[in-house]
Structure 1
Amino acid sequence: MKDEELFPSTDRATNFERCLVTIIAEAINSKNLKHVLVADQAFPERKGAGPGWRRVRNGAKEEAPRKMPVRDMFAMAEVLGLNFIQLCAEAEFKIKNGWHYTKDDTSLKH
């Protein structure tokens, strides 16, 4: 196995992370939930969880979107009643079928 297969490049890892964020955001939208309320439930100990989730999805003004740790994605998935392992498999499937994050992506701006 090549090193790049063991340690994916930042671009591949970022693409995977952004795909997971997209899937979570789409799940929130498909359930007609408010993003801020889901974030507040996922992170009850955090003040301003909703705006934090918005910065993960969209960035802030001219900033790039904030990175999202795996534990936070897991918490969001749990609140939504989703299986995190299946979300990862879905992200991998989407990426293998051509999904790719672009900085100009506006699909998460809800």
Structure 2
Amino acid sequence: MRRLLDAVGASVDRVDVTRIEEGTFYAALTITTAGGPLSLDCRPSDAIALAARVGAPLFVAESVIDVAGVLEDGEDDDPDAAEDEVVEFRRFLDEVDPEDFQG
């Protein structure tokens, strides 16, 4: 696809993951052609792979993030939950015995 775009003098402007419906993601690929910008429906996996290869920006609609977003390590919507995990882990460390791990 990259070679095809190069051959016709087009470039990738951006990729937008636009929505998710019943577990299916949808995306739009925006390219610039000699005739001007053009937005094409595209499989998200193909669009993301193309964007990565050509260095184009990737955008994801907030509605998609709300449904399918995953927090990275260290992120949490509830700061008290993180503190609760630390307290629980400390309690575990206080009570654990090395023999607990012997087979």
TM-score by length of 1: 0.23
Structure in which a larger fraction of residues adopt helix:
1
Q: Please state which structure has a larger fraction of its residues in strand.
A: 2
More relative contact order in 1 or in 2 (CA 8 Å, sep 6+)? 1
TM-score normalised per structure 2: 0.24
User: Highest Rg: 1 or 2?
Assistant: 2
